[in-house]
Amino acid sequence: MSASPTHRVSSGERINSAETTGHLQKTLREKGIRLTRQRRVILEVMDNAEQHLDVDQILERAQKMDPAVHLVTVYRTIDLLKREGLIDELDLLHLRGDRHYYETHGPRDHIHVACLRCGKVREFESRLYEQLKEQIARDFDMQVTVSRTEVGGICNDCLPHEKKSPRQ
């Protein structure tokens, strides 16, 4: 009963400029939310991301497709997606300052497992995690709509170094 490391395959997008493709765009349109040029670009960045991105990474990628995207718009669009429950926000245990990371809501929640020394982050999903959330829902009689789990430790590769120079 043990899940193994996750490879998150993005749902098979091409790199079409700014069309009406992609899961996020589709969802927003269905909700009747206005799709501007900038939003399309940002949504596409999020849809195509193979892993969590921070705001600057999102901006950078968006500007490669359309230089007219402003940082403020990235913030506002992320807010929108958070409010609509379409993306998750993480901070990876503040490994790198207080930067926040964002990723599209996968079909299934996953846990972020970070090495506190080298900062490598791996993903993990498990039936146990689903059970845990069910247990919480049952015990508190509430529907769990958001969940975030981040665990840290010293990974295999770092263990030898850690022995010598304990902490960073």
Partner DNA sequence: ATAGATGCAAATATTTTGCCGCCAG
Partner DNA sequence: CTGGCGGCAAAATATTTGCATCTAT
* Count, residues near its own copies per rule CB under 8 A: 46
Any contact of residue 98 with DNA (CB under 7 A)?
yes
Q: Which of DNA, its own copies, none lies near 165, with the C-beta cut-off 5 to 8 A by kind?
A: none
Residues from 82 through 101 that contact its own copies (CB under 8 A): 83, 89, 91, 93-94, 98, 100
Q: Which amino acid is at 87?
A: I
For its own copies, the closer CB: 52 or 61: 52
Determine the Cα–Cα distance for residues 31 and 10; give it in Å rounded to an integer.
22
Determine the Cα–Cα distance for residues 20 and 38; give it in Å rounded to an integer.
13
**Facing residues of 124 across strands?**
111
Determine the Cα–Cα distance for residues 126 and 87; give it in Å rounded to an integer.
20
Determine the Cα–Cα distance for residues 21 and 121; give it in Å rounded to an integer.
29
Q: Which of its own copies, DNA, none lies near 110, with the C-beta cut-off 5 to 8 A by kind?
A: none
Residue from 6, 8, 27, 76 binding DNA (CB under 7 A): 76
Binding mask 123-162 for its own copies (x = CB under 8 A): -x-x-xx-xxx-xxxxxxxxxxxxxxxxxxxxxx------
Query: Which residues contact residue 78 at a Cβ distance below 8 angstroms, ignoring those fewer than 6 apart?
Result: 42, 55, 58, 87, 102
Residue from 13, 50, 71, 128 binding DNA (CB under 7 A): 71
For DNA, the closer CB: 34 or 163: 34
Angle at 8 between CA 147 and CA 148, to 5 degrees: 10
Determine the Cα–Cα distance for residues 116 and 92; give it in Å rounded to an integer.
10
Residues that bind DNA (CB under 7 A): 29, 33-39, 55, 68-73, 75-77, 79, 97-100
- Which stretches of the chain bind its own copies, using CB under 8 A? 2-5, 83, 89, 91, 93-94, 98, 100, 111, 113, 115-116, 122, 124, 126, 128-129, 131-133, 135-156, 167
